[in-house]
Structure 1
Amino acid sequence: MRSLFTRKFLNLSRSYSVNKTFQEIPGPKPLPLIGNALLFSPLGPYKVSRLLDGFADLQKQYGDIIKLNMGNKISLLIFNPDDIRSMFQYEGKYPQRPTFEALKDYRKKKYQCVGVVPDNGEEWHRMRQNVQILLKLKTVHSYWSRQQAVAQEFSAGLLSKMNSDGILEDFLQYAFQYSLEAIGVVCYGKRLNCFSNNSEDYRVNKAIVQANVKFLKALGETFHQPPWWKLWRTKAYKIIESTQDFMMGTAVKYLQEARQKLIENPDRFLEEDPILYHLLENRNLSETEKNLLVTEIFQGGIDATGTVITMMLYELARNPSIQTSIYEDLMKNKMRPGHISPLLRACLKETLRLHPTAGGTSRIIDSDAVLSGYHVPKGTLVIGVNPVISKMGRHFSDPLTFDPWRFLKKTETAHPYTSLPFGHGARMCPGRRFAEQEILLCVAEVILKYEVLSVSSKDIFMFLEMNLVPSEPIDFKLILICPIKFLVVPTHLFMTNKKGFPVLPKSHQVAIRQFLFQETQILIIGAQRHQHYKHYQQYMEHMWQVGYESDPVMQFAQGYEDFLQFPLHNNLEAQTYEVFEKDPVKYTE
């Protein structure tokens, strides 16, 4: 009742200031039949992959509200946060936005239901109500310890991913592995073993990541391009078919395992996996709907989370003083549910301001509205271009600079609708709190273990596929900063050489050699997989000797250890004495 009164009051108050019609809204002149579509075609000035740059350019030409005619559809671009707030006030009981028609079409044909993501209206509302549990803080925090364990294992394993120069190439591919493992704990109540050397686990998880990337790219093509798929099964439509079937098959397999756990011990299952319990015991959903909802949550938790982690570390690598401040804060104040470093959280907000993964927010308004003094009729598609708004100087000082401190200053507050990386209102991303938890845990564990250095000074921009993604691979150099007392090497990591003895893969050799001169004790654990357990220890000793001999300074000093340790030896030979005298550790000339 209150919201209805508020809307009527807003309509009444704004009606006095309205003196401009919908036809008067500025915008580029449309062409017959195709409207403004040529602007965003290969023949036009704006590429779809750089769509937001095109919108920013149009804003400079026409102002904060722009009318676009895309053939037979008229839409508005808005760049004023007050208008975005008004847009949400006119969204109606069942907020509508442009749907993913190709995805909706295939799911309806194959599964007889479409899920939350591609739908609108009452059916969307019914399905959406069943995932509200994802937004409860108590529920999110119950997964903290398991997701923190994922972050710790992921960060520790990054050493083995670096090349011989100590460079971690294309970090995003590893961030996807982390986000897959972290969301797997939530969706399937199990570890997917994304960091394992097991060839079968590696194959399956790699296939999941690749399928998700292909799916989003194909979804973007069917969304941004003319609906040719309605005339014939286009390549993009076929990719949507194959990837959806693969993801649904994965969900069915893992949920069968979860159902067995539920049957064996319901109380324990409820305590450990409240989200799965809520879905599996939900009598308002069919089995297919349950599988589809889990698939949507699972897929939604891979791409954007991995991208934000990568971009956050990208900014921290370029701003070492901020990285140091976060490290010091984390060392003083241990993170726990509900108690996260304010600076770390501010860094996340600043990363999402500069590098959001969503291209904006949109609504098909449910009633006549007033935006920037113009009358806008019911049924108009309104697009809030937040990624452009959040970089405007009128809202943020020095807007292109990464400055998380801006969110910690009480004297500096931004309009609440300038940056909406997870959307807003009833259609806000239901996995928002899980995404934030996973991102903060991952970045914290990486910063606690390494100094993250930027390899290239080149600026990275975001381009549009379905979501916004980095324009090129991002590499990091990691320097270990925390003392490691023990290094555990499981026996399952060892391969067998031609003579039947255990050896480690080269990537693991590179990682372990970094610990050779740090007085780290190597602990070998696990089942005996070769002839004798001592062979593992002998191999590690061999690795230490090879690493020791590879140091040119140590090689030069070989043969003189006794004399260098005891410089007052009575029988110093001339050559040894020469070496000793030039030793900068013993004497300075």
Structure 2
Amino acid sequence: MVPIIGQFDISEFAKVTKLFLERYGRIVRLGGLIGRPDLLFVYDADEIERIYRREGPTPFRPSMPCLVKYKSEVRKDFFGELPGVVGVHGDQWRRFRSKVQRPILQPQTVKKYVAPIEMVTEDFIKYMENARDENGDLPHEFDNDIHRWSLECIGRVALDTRLGCLSSELTSDSEPQRIIDAAKFALRNVAVLELKAPYWRYVPTPLWTKYVNNMNFFVELCSKYINEALERLKTKKVTSENDLSLLERVLRSEGDPKIATVMALDLILVGIDTISMAVCSILYQAATRLKQQEKMAEEIRRVLPDPSKPLCYSDLDKLHYTKAFVREVFRMYSTVIGNGRTLQDDDVICGYHIPKGVQVVFPTIVTGNMSQFVSNPEEFKPERWLESDGRLHPFASLPYGFGARICLGRRFADLEIQILLAKLIRRYRLEYHHEPLDYAVTFMYAPDGPLRLRMIER
């Protein structure tokens, strides 16, 4: 990973993980990383399942050392004993997660956001309609527009507000544009901060300084909107918990606006790029796999015969093939290239004694495409998620992780993706008429290049 003299490039990291398997086998130790512990790559879904299932109530998930440094050192004054769930471990993590887990993961909480996210998505589709050229092609920077939709959705969920990111005329100094720029910088440079030599740990490099400034901006932003929500809550008439939004539930149950601020910050930081890049990948695959796209469209038309009727959660629940299409994209082109754990006890993995403290990596981008665990893995086949025949190891592809540290925002991520597909594919056929795109790693794994999709009315 060292520039010039190193043989690997960060953008090729997904290919590197596959190369390790081909060259060295199902368990690979990567040592000599500057300023970091050795990594142990495990390409065995049975071992991955065993490690996940035997972990205790506070699994150690190594991630985002730059965010850990920011929370625990740079802004210890703000976070203190409430550092959130991202980059945090042990009892601190467990205590904070227990405060926010129930409202975030309750199905009835998620159901309340169908209409708000549908409104955001309607605005996004109108934006897309107006952004097309004379051929119906979307602009070169359409992936940035998907970021704007994602930000608007997360702002609506985590901050109870419309941020204004989908406005067609944003000035460079407007708050929505500053949010877009800050989100893009923070997440696109995390890969550089985390995978290249971490000089920023010892001296404040220009990139690290800008990262800190960006993070400070996000903390101020979350604090501002949460204080506004707190003021509204004081005068709001509440007859039952169903009257409360996610943010209001957390504010009411915990009474500490800082808990809500840190929760919102974690949802925004982890959600923006993850959902955006996943959607880039899903829409690209839909546009280049027209047969499967038509199957989705048929299902959506059958479940939603009237396109003007508002969506409801029970309708989305019936989109079985559409959900299977998304799962198949995640299997073949996993947005998150891997997950991992730091071992809390000595273990035996693939016949080797592994001491505690080693960081174990589960490269789902590879295991989801291995014939030992998935039948005909090179075939794009959404039906495999709906049929019982054929090999499909449940731990080969885990886009949201597993167990106690499974992604907190996964229900909202699924909801946003399903609503976008239901609204967009119902009304438009997506096509792609340019050079095929390769996939590369920025912070996530996604199509690399202009996402010039063509939107054609059905």
Asked whether the two chains share a fold, i.e. TM above 0.5, the reply is: yes
Asked if residue 127 in structure 1 is aligned to residue 103 in structure 2, the reply is no
Letter in 2 for 1:124: W
* Partner Cα distance (1:282, 1:317) in 2: 44
Query: Does structure 1 conserve the Cα–Cα contact (< 8 Å) formed by 2:172 and 2:178?
Result: no
Letter in 1 for 2:352: Y
Aligned to 1:81: 45
Letter in 2 for 1:89: R
Query: Does structure 2 conserve the Cα–Cα contact (< 8 Å) formed by 1:196 and 1:202?
Result: no
Query: Does structure 2 conserve the Cα–Cα contact (< 8 Å) formed by 1:186 and 1:273?
Result: no
The CA deviation string for residues 161-191 of structure 1, in whole angstroms up to 9 with x for no partner, is 1123321023312211211122222112222
* Partner Cα distance (2:303, 2:351) in 1: 49
Q: Which structure is higher in RCO with an 8 Å CA cutoff and minimum separation 6?
A: 2
Deviation at residue 40 of structure 1 after TM alignment: 6.2
Deviation at residue 201 of structure 1 after TM alignment: 11
Asked if residue 256 in structure 1 is aligned to residue 232 in structure 2, the reply is no
The CA deviation string for residues 286-333 of structure 1, in whole angstroms up to 9 with x for no partner, is 433431221111232221112112211111111112111211111111
Aligned to 2:295: 325
* Partner Cα distance (2:207, 2:56) in 1: 33
* Partner Cα distance (1:44, 1:273) in 2: 53
Deviation at residue 425 of structure 1 after TM alignment: 1.1
Alignment CA distance shift 1:61-1:40 (3 Å): farther
Q: TM-score, normalised by structure 1?
A: 0.71
Q: Greater shift after overlay, 288-297 or 256-265? A: 288-297
Query: Does structure 2 conserve the Cα–Cα contact (< 8 Å) formed by 1:104 and 1:119?
Result: yes
Query: Does structure 2 conserve the Cα–Cα contact (< 8 Å) formed by 1:189 and 1:273?
Result: no
Q: Greater shift after overlay, 399-408 or 254-263? A: 399-408
Aligned to 1:361: 339
Aligned to 1:156: 126
Aligned to 1:345: 323
* Partner Cα distance (2:330, 2:108) in 1: 24
Deviation at residue 431 of structure 1 after TM alignment: 0.2
Alignment CA distance shift 1:194-1:218 (3 Å): closer
Aligned to 2:436: 458
Aligned to 2:308: none
Query: Does structure 2 conserve the Cα–Cα contact (< 8 Å) formed by 1:134 and 1:140?
Result: yes
Of 70, 78, 82, the residue aligned with 1:106 is 70
Deviation at residue 135 of structure 1 after TM alignment: 1.7
Superposition map of 1:167-566 within 5 A: 167-169=137-139, 170-197=141-168, 199=170, 203-267=174-238, 270-283=241-254, 286-334=256-304, 336-338=312-314, 339-461=317-439, 463-481=440-458
Query: Does structure 2 conserve the Cα–Cα contact (< 8 Å) formed by 1:135 and 1:430?
Result: yes
Query: Does structure 2 conserve the Cα–Cα contact (< 8 Å) formed by 1:453 and 1:478?
Result: yes
- The root-mean-square deviation of aligned C-alpha atoms, in Å, is 2.2
Query: Does structure 1 conserve the Cα–Cα contact (< 8 Å) formed by 2:281 and 2:446?
Result: no
Asked if residue 116 in structure 1 is aligned to residue 85 in structure 2, the reply is yes
Alignment CA distance shift 1:404-1:375 (3 Å): same
Of 44, 54, 58, the residue aligned with 2:6 is 44
In the alignment, structure 2 segments of 5+ residues that lack a partner are 305-310
Deviation at residue 198 of structure 1 after TM alignment: 5.7
* Partner Cα distance (2:399, 2:64) in 1: 19
Alignment CA distance shift 1:207-1:131 (3 Å): same
Query: Does structure 2 conserve the Cα–Cα contact (< 8 Å) formed by 1:219 and 1:236?
Result: no
Deviation at residue 346 of structure 1 after TM alignment: 0.3
Letter in 2 for 1:336: C
Query: Does structure 1 conserve the Cα–Cα contact (< 8 Å) formed by 2:45 and 2:373?
Result: no
Letter in 1 for 2:443: M
3-state DSSP of counterpart to 1:399: coil
Alignment CA distance shift 1:73-1:297 (3 Å): closer
Equivalent residues, number: 441
Query: Does structure 1 conserve the Cα–Cα contact (< 8 Å) formed by 2:336 and 2:444?
Result: yes
3-state DSSP of counterpart to 2:38: strand
Q: Greater shift after overlay, 190-199 or 258-267? A: 190-199
Alignment CA distance shift 1:363-1:246 (3 Å): same
Query: Does structure 1 conserve the Cα–Cα contact (< 8 Å) formed by 2:428 and 2:455?
Result: yes
Q: Greater shift after overlay, 452-461 or 344-353? A: 452-461
Q: TM-score, normalised by structure 2?
A: 0.90
3-state DSSP of counterpart to 1:163: coil
Aligned to 1:58: 20
Superposition map of 1:24-43 within 5 A: 42-43=4-5
In the alignment, structure 1 segments of 5+ residues that lack a partner are 1-38, 482-589
Deviation at residue 94 of structure 1 after TM alignment: 1.5
Alignment CA distance shift 1:40-1:427 (3 Å): farther
Query: Does structure 2 conserve the Cα–Cα contact (< 8 Å) formed by 1:116 and 1:127?
Result: yes
Alignment CA distance shift 1:205-1:411 (3 Å): same
* Partner Cα distance (2:379, 2:122) in 1: 30
Alignment CA distance shift 1:57-1:253 (3 Å): same
Letter in 2 for 1:476: L
Q: Greater shift after overlay, 260-269 or 158-167? A: 260-269
Letter in 2 for 1:56: K
Identity %: 25
* Partner Cα distance (2:50, 2:122) in 1: 43
3-state DSSP of counterpart to 2:31: strand
